[in-house]
Structures are given as C-alpha cells and as structure tokens.
Amino acid sequence: MQRFTNKIAVITAGATGIGFATATRFIEEGGKVAVLDLVEPETKVDGLLAVQGDCTDLQAVSDFFARVGRDLGEIDILVNNVGQSARTRRSLFVDSSEEVWRFVVEINLLTAMRCARIVAPAMKARGKGRIVNISSNAALYGTLYQADYAAAKAGIIGLTRALARELSPHGITVNAICPGVIKTGAMAHNSPESIAKLRADTPVGFEAEPEEVGGLIAYIASDEARFLTGQTIAFNGGRSFL
C-alpha cells in the first residue's frame, strides 16, 4: 500500500519505539516524515528528517516546525507521541511533589497541545489533516504510583475529544490511542517482577511490538479513516476496556 504518497507527517519522540516504528511505516507507504527527539533515530532511514531537540522547549518546537515547512512543506499528519512517566521519581500520590507533577504534565499533555496549536490553523485552512494523540492505558486503568501520569494522559483524551468537535467539520480528524504493554525502551525502567505482573494482567498474555501500534496509527492517519474522529482506542491486549 502507498497510502501516504505526497503526505507529510510529523512525529514527536519519533527516533525510537512507537514513534520510530510509525515513521518507518509512513515512509514505507510513500510518505515523508520529520521527527523531533532528544536522541538520534535507531537506524538511518531514507526519507526521514530527524531533528534533535526537546519537545518541552517552545523555541525548539517552533524552530522544528518552521524547518519542516521549509524543507518538506505543509503538514498533513501530526502524531503527538512524546511522553514519559515520572519513572524513578514515581511514588504514591500522598508522597509526590508538585515539581514532578509539572514535569509529567508538561511532557505528556502540554507538548501535545503545543504541537496541535501549531499545525491546526494550516490544516483548517487547507480543509484536511490528521492528528493522532498517544495517551496510555494508565489513563483508563488508574495505575498505582502514577497518579500524575494517569491524569496527564487522561487530559490527552479530553483534548482529543474537544479538538475533534472543533476541527472535524474542517476535514481534520483527531483520535487517541491508549497503548498498554509495548516492547519499547521504556520497559527497561521496570523490574523483571513488574514486567511479569504486567504480562500476567494482560489477557492476551504478551507485550505488543511497536510496529503493531504503528500499524494502527497508519490506519487512523490514512484516508480510509475519514469517518473516525474523537475516539479513544484501547490498544492494551484486553487489560482494560472502554
């Protein structure tokens, strides 16, 4: 399939994991892709514009989108993929600090709002576009020790629904995906015991590959999904339901 011929996509945190798998899928299907990430891509891929920068830095983000406009052209697809839990700083909410909350909300929710605000006006003017926001199963499950992360990712769902109502009449669809246990680098921050428990709590009994999430994103971002908007898709092996 060549569903993304003459399409330009932007993916935040697109150098590894789900973001990189999605970028590769778009390119395989004829698209041009730009990614913004703190690190370089996992491997060199023709057709990928990779820029190193911090997605929480407004100036870095603004400069990145300006470069995409100059080098590639008008953006057709935005995948808001950047996100992170508190990781080693996570704790029960009663023991948590506002400094950590602010970091978690900034990197998960405000980055998505910032990027969507940049691309939406041009998409609206052109009468077409796709925005895919990556939330998390934590937003559905209410994961222990991750109240800040669950709150931020639930905010992604609310943002998705509000933007869908606002932008869908202008040819722009906005949807969210809530991944569960995926084999990405983030899994390395979990102990073997934690990973075993996550796997046991997942009815299908295994972790998904990043490429599987990329396949779902590719469908949502394609012209085939023109009737799909404002939706939250739980891609979590049955760990929780909507």
pLDDT tens-digit readout, 102-147: 999 999 999 999 999 999 999 999 999 999 999 999 999 999 999 9
Position 192 scores a pLDDT of 80
178 belongs to a structural domain: yes
Tokens of 127: 């009468």
240 belongs to a structural domain: no
- In DSSP terms, 86 is beta-bridged to none
Position 185 scores a pLDDT of 79
42 belongs to a structural domain: yes
Number of domains making up the chain:
1
Q: What is the CATH number of the domain that holds 38?
A: 3.40.50.720
Position 197 scores a pLDDT of 85
- What type of residue sits at position 187? M
Position 188 scores a pLDDT of 67
Position 52 scores a pLDDT of 98
Residues of the chain with pLDDT under 50: none
Q: What are phi and psi of 49, to 5 degrees?
A: -95, 110
- What type of residue sits at position 70? R
Q: What are phi and psi of 229, to 5 degrees?
A: -155, 150
Position 196 scores a pLDDT of 85
Position 104 scores a pLDDT of 98
pTM given for the model: 0.95
Distance spanning both ends of the chain, measured CA to CA: 30
Which residues span the domain enclosing 196? 8-235
Has 149 been annotated as catalytic? yes
Q: What is the DSSP string of 7-35?
A: -EEEEET-SSHHHHHHHHHHHHTT-EEEE
> 130: Cβ–Cβ under 8 A, 6 or more apart, which residues?
76, 77, 78, 172, 173, 220, 221, 222, 225
37 belongs to a structural domain: yes
93 belongs to a structural domain: yes
DSSP label at residue 43: S
46 belongs to a structural domain: yes
241 belongs to a structural domain: no
3 belongs to a structural domain: no
Taking the CA of residue 71 as centre, how many other CA atoms within 13 Å lie in the half-sphere pointing to its CB? 17
Catalytic residue, from 141, 145, 149, 219: name it: 149
